[in-house]
Structure 1
Amino acid sequence: MATPSRTVAAAATMVAVSGTTTTDDRAERRRRRLREELTDVGFDVPDGLPGELLLGEIDYARHPPRHEGTFPSYGALLCTEAVPDLAPYDRYGTGETSVDTLRRLADGRQSFVLVEGDRVEVAVLDEPHDREVELVRLHRAFPGIMIVQRLTDGQVRVLGARTILTWDGAHWWAKPYAETYLASVAASVPGCSQMILRAVLEFCVHTMSPSRAGATLVWQLDRDDGDLADEPGEEFHHLRGTEESVRLPRLSLLDAGTHGAVRQLLTQVDGATVVDADGNLRATGLHLTASVDAQRLVAVPRGRGTRHTAAQRYSFDEERTVVFVVSADGPVSVFSDGARIAAIDAGHVGMVGVDPNAPTDGVVSTTCTRCTRRLYVRRAPGTLALDDDVTDVIDDGVAPVARITCPVCGTTATIVGAVEGAPARVVKRRG
């Protein structure tokens, strides 16, 4: 185990090198401003030494030394826990090699500066990690690791405990990991395969979203072993084929190795893509249609684009589906039963989205009188749910009455025993 004095010495070396082009005071002020910037976007900078190391590495990634008119790419792995010896990389740089030299070896793709306790080395991975999803998998494989990466275009990525940060040269953009929303989405789709849900969420959030290409994926919850119809889309309700409609080999989103190929296809094809109950791609280039009831009942917020409108209405008509929409500018929305059940976004004012920690129990329910969807709201303290629509009071007193808004049609109603102001959730009926 590293002694405190050696660890502090290593940290001081890393921090000092990150400020070699300025005075120590200027470097310190810059890191202080950086901490404030990260706090403003909801990123938790660790306390103490790990936080100082992280700030130093981010500062270096944003302001690397110029060489012959260009700024190099760069990458660093900061370990708050010991990395297993069987990790898929080789280490170099023990001994008298300077930190500055080690940094020149780190391309941020396959080689990274590795800071582990009092050790500062270079880790060479078995394969390149260019894309966000590859870094996410590396982060998941080693709990406690923090990753800093500078791309050749000057973009900087930071993978922390709960958040992915991206610096675009002007702003910090923060977004959560796809895994964060797994439990919340699964609670709205009881009985679904969490393994497939995790694969689809990860593909949308960490592969399609960074590509800045829009996409719509329709996940069918019911298994259908029949063959595709002669015209792609013919067998699916409210899906219509287009000139770009094609049937696909059964690439499985459960196989992470296929995600790059699927992304490559979807960046070149318009329309929706069907994913079957087993996570296999079936067809793409399909047009979502909506019934008269969906057009009349589904309340689409002002300003929402045609892709989101079509997906929300389609999910109302086809109750045995979940629809994932990736916007061209990055945000990911998930629709079920005519409601948006998750919004995974990135913004320079902090993370936004449906609360991934929303309770999945301790609720009261009611049926919307207009769209007939079943709505669930957090139960108020001191009340007891006796039946679906019956709430009693545990202690003597009057059960609270709250106003709720249906997330599907926008109808307002009152419900006994609910927390005032708590959002109503739509939970899919089991198939």
Structure 2
Amino acid sequence: MVRARRAHPSERPSSRGGTGASVASMPEPGVGRRRRLAEELEESGLVVEGTDAFRTLLVEEIDHALRPEVHERRVVSSGTILEPRSDPGTWESGTQLDITRGPADRQPLPAARRFADGLSSWLLRRTDGSNEWMIFDRPAGSERDLVVLARVLDATIVQRHLAGAVRLVGSFGVLRWEGFRWHHEPPVSSWTDAVITHSAHGDAAVIEAMLTFAIHDLGSMRIGALLIYRPDGDSGPSVEERLPIPPPLRIRVVSHLAPLRHALAQVDGAAVFDADGVLRQLGVRLVPSDVAEQTVESLRGTRHTSARRYSHDDPLATVIAVSDDGPISVFRNGAVLANSRRD
């Protein structure tokens, strides 16, 4: 960490109002701001592992994403991949991308950043200065994409999206800047450990796919929703069906997720999936039993409370509530299995 030099007594302002022999040296511009940023990240729960050089690099890139360049009133996007540790020979197969790479270490950093849009083109930075450009054959800038990139490259990613969202993605999960604080979503694996406890609750792969969709496709885009996974084939508790039967979209088929997300952004009510993760009902109004209303406590808002009480009435179901401001809760049999930390 860079610190300002302590002034010698002869350099300090005179107590009699004079200016002394000279003015104490000032910190390098941005040093204090980056120090505060590092403290904010630590307060949010992020533990940055690695060398001092890596931590300095990371804070530099986050600071750049939060204070973007503006050109002709346009705020530009950006994307940096920091210190990848995996074998580059595995990157294309792991990400399903065609990747073109080239050296960027001869370019000054501000110039190199101009070519990294955080979608199809990225700046790859290393602490030893051997920077590269990476160009993909298609955009890969959604939060879901970033999680895959971070995992396959074993790297930390800093992105400022065209929509203005600033994200930090790595082995710790996802950190999103909300304009006044950081929101941390841990890795999906930490959710599945708490949620997938018994085979009677259904297919673990389907539940994991639903959690991933809820966190990285809905929560990241502030789309509120209720997702219900019913592993058994009975009719279930009483609900009010208000929309036609939807197409049989599958939660484990990535190409089906865009239309599913688009539909959920336009309707109220719950989406119900069968044991195989196939969408069977959409826009369902949940009607809790009298017992659930009397015995199951409310939680957060109406959506989370409705989800929790429904789970009491359908005890084998896994119910996921996503708030339109991001936080997520998972319920089963009236109990909270996991939820987003919200300070």
TM range (shorter): 0.7 to 0.9
TM-score (norm: length of structure 2): 0.83
Alignment partner for residue 76 of structure 1, among 74, 80, 84?
A: 80
Paired with 1:180 and 1:68, the residues of 2 have a C-alpha distance of 43
User: Using the alignment, how far apart are the partners of 1:132 and 1:25 within structure 2?
Assistant: 34
Cα distance in 2, alignment partners of residues 183 and 149 from structure 1: 28
Cα distance change of structure 1 residues 97 and 107 upon mapping to structure 2, 3 Å threshold: same
Match of 1:272 in 2: 270
Report the alpha carbon displacement of residue 319 of structure 1 after superposing the two structures with TM.
1.6
Offset at residue 331 of structure 1 (A): 1.0
Q: Please say if residues 179 and 202 of structure 1, whose CA atoms lie closer than 8 Å, have aligned partners that are also in contact.
A: no
- Aligned 1:126-275 pairs, distance under 5 A: 126-143=137-154, 145-187=155-197, 192-223=202-233, 235-242=235-242, 245-275=243-273
Question: In structure 2, what is the Cα distance between the partners aligned to 1:63 and 1:320?
Answer: 47
User: How does the TM-score come out when normalised to structure 1?
Assistant: 0.67
Q: Distance in 2 between matches of 1:115 and 1:95?
A: 9
| 1:312 CA displacement | 1.4
Q: 1:26 to 1:270 in 2, by over 3 A?
A: same
Equivalent position of 2:52 in the other structure: 48
8 Å CA contact retained: 1:178, 1:206:
no
Q: CA deviation at 1:82?
A: 4.1
Residues 1:104 and 1:111: Cα distance change in structure 2 (over 3 Å): same
Amino acid at match of 2:240: R
Tell me whether 1:59 sits opposite 2:63 in the alignment: yes
Q: Could you say which structure has the higher strand fraction? A: 1
How far apart are 1:170 and its partner, in Å? 2.9
Q: Distance in 2 between matches of 1:274 and 1:82?
A: 39
Letter in 2 for 1:73: S
In 2, Cα distance between equivalents of 1:315 and 1:344: 18
Shift of 1:62: 1.8
More helix by share: 2
Query: What is the match of residue 314 of structure 2?
Result: 318
- 2:96 alignment counterpart: none
Question: Partner letter of residue 331 of structure 1?
Answer: P
1:113 match: 123
Partners of 1:236 and 1:178 lie apart in 2 by 28
SS in structure 1 of the partner of residue 197 of structure 2: helix
Q: CA deviation at 1:146?
A: 0.3
For 1:319 and 1:155, the matched residues in 2 are separated by: 37
Matched-pair contact (CA < 8 Å) for 1:50–1:80 = no
Structure 2 CA distance for aligned equivalents of residues 305 and 103 of structure 1? 42
Other-structure match for 2:19: none
CA distance in 2 between partners of 1:314 and 1:187 (Å): 20
Q: What is the identity percentage for the equivalent residue pairs of Structure 1 and Structure 2?
A: 35
Q: How many pairs are equivalent?
A: 310
Distance 1:292 1:68, change over 3 A: closer
CA distance in 1, matches of 2:87, 2:38: 26
Equivalent pair of 2:151/2:170 in contact (CA under 8 Å): no
Contact 2:273 2:280 survives alignment (8 Å): yes
Q: How far did 1:206 drift?
A: 0.8
| Aligned equivalent of 1:30, options 13, 28, 33 | 33
Tell me how far apart the structure 2 counterparts of residues 188 and 30 of structure 1 sit (CA, whole Å): 48
Give the aligned CA root-mean-square deviation in angstroms.
2.1
Q: 1:92 to 1:252 in 2, by over 3 A?
A: same
**4+ residue runs of structure 1 moved beyond 6 angstroms?**
none
Structure 2, unpaired ranges of 5+: 1-25, 93-98
Matching residue's letter, 2:311: S
1:342 corresponds to which residue? 338
The amino acid that maps onto 1:261 is P
The answer to which of 67-76 and 33-42 deviates more is 67-76
For residues 298 and 277 of structure 2, the distance between their equivalents in structure 1, rounded to whole angstroms, comes to 28
Quick one: which amino acid aligns to residue 293 of structure 2? Q
5+ residue gaps, structure 1: 1-22, 225-234, 350-431
